[in-house]
Chain A
Amino acid sequence: MTGFEKQNGQRLLVAVLISTGRNPVSGVVRRAELDARALEIVLALDTDVQFEVIHAGDPENPVLKDYLGMGLSDITVLPCDPDDDPASSLVWYLNRIRPDVVLTGNRAETGEGSGFIPYAVAQQLGALFVAQITALKFLADSKLQLSQSIPGGYRRRLYAQPPIVGSVDGSALPPRIPAYARSQRGKIHIVEAPRQNDAQSADWNILTGRNKPKKITRYHGETMAERLDFAWGQDRTGGTTIEARKNPRNGADAIHRALGDAGLLDRAGKGDNSKLTDIT
Chain B
Amino acid sequence: MPKNKDRRIRRDPRRERIARQGKSVGGSEHFDIDGRADRVRKFPHFCRSVTYGERVRINPFAATQNIRCSKSESQPKKHESKSDIKPSIITDPSYFVVVVPDLLAGRPTDHDRLTFSAARQLASDTDGAVLAVLFEDSDFDFGKLGVDRIMKFSTVLLAGYSPEYRADAIVSIAQETPVRHILFPDSKFGSGDLGRRVAARLGCRPASGVRQIGEGQIVCKSADPLLEIHRSLCTIMLMDPEIDVETTQIYCEGRELNAPLVDISMPKLQDGGLEQVDVSGIPLSEASLILAAGAGVSDWQEFYNLAESLGAAIAGSRVVVDKGFVGRDRQVGASGVSVAGRCYIALGISGAPQHLQGIVDCDLVIAVNTDPGCPMSLRADLMIVGDVNSIMPILREIISDRL
A interface residue numbers (CB < 8 A to B):
22, 24, 27, 107-116, 119-120, 122-123, 128-132, 145, 147-148, 151-161, 169, 200-201, 203-209, 212, 214-215, 220, 222, 233-234, 236-245, 248-256, 258-259, 262, 264-265, 268-274, 276-280
Contacts and interface: CB of A to CB of B under 8 A. Distances in A.
B69 interface: no
A129 B384 contact: no
Interface string B216-259: 00011111111111111000001000101000000000000000
10 contacts: A114-B238, A116-B206, A131-B163, A147-B275, A153-B313, A156-B161, A241-B377, A255-B382, A256-B399, A270-B399
A255 B370 contact: no
B180 interface: no
A109 B222 CA distance: 9
Interface residues of B, number: 102
Contacts of B398: 252-253, 256, 269
B261 interface: no
B44 interface: no
Contacts of A159: 269-270, 272
Given A157-B273, A276-B311, 4 more contacts: A156-B275, A158-B270, A160-B270, A204-B230
A114 B372 contact: no
B18 interface: no
B89 interface: no
B221 A113 contact: yes
A237 B242 CA distance: 30
A204 B220 CA distance: 10
Given A212-B242, A278-B105, A238 B378 contact: yes
Interface stretch (B28-36, B189-197, B323-331): B189-197
Contacts of A279: 189-190
A112 B207 CA distance: 9
Contacts of B221: 113, 209
B288 A200 contact: no
Contacts of B312: 271
Given A111-B222, A241-B383, A269-B402, A205 B230 contact: yes
A244 B274 contact: no
B289 A276 contact: yes
Interface stretch (B7-15, B146-154, B278-286): B278-286
Contacts of B279: 153, 273
Interface in B336-372: 342-343, 345, 353, 356-357, 360, 363-364, 366, 368, 370, 372
Contacts of A215: 242
B17 interface: no
A145 B272 contact: yes
A220 B51 CA distance: 14
B242 A244 contact: no
Contact of B268 (A115, A161, A220): A161
Nearest to B159: A280
B380 interface: yes
A111 to B, nearest CB: 6
Nearest to A261: B364
Contacts of A131: 163, 193
A273 B196 contact: no
Contacts of B203: 123
A148 B387 CA distance: 41
A141 to B, nearest CB: 13
Given A157-B275, A158-B269, A255-B395, A270 B400 contact: yes
Contacts of B270: 158-160
Main secondary structure of the interface of B (DSSP, over half): mixed
Contact of A152 (B200, B231, B268, B288): B288
B384 A109 contact: no
Interface string B64-88: 0000000000001000000000000
Contacts of A169: 188
Contacts of B228: 206-209
Nearest to B353: A234
A237 B378 contact: yes
B380 A154 contact: no
Contacts of B232: 203
A239 B209 contact: no
A106 B382 CA distance: 40
A156 B104 contact: no
A222 B160 CA distance: 49
A251 B392 CA distance: 10
Contacts of B286: 151-153
Interface in B372-399: 372, 377-387, 390-391, 394-395, 397-399
Among B207, B223, B387: residue with most chain A CB under 10 A: B223
Nearest to A131: B193
A227 to B, nearest CB: 13
A276 B341 CA distance: 10
A122 to B, nearest CB: 7
A277 B279 CA distance: 13
A207 B218 CA distance: 13
Contacts of B39: none
B205 interface: yes
Contact of A236 (B163, B197, B211, B379): B379
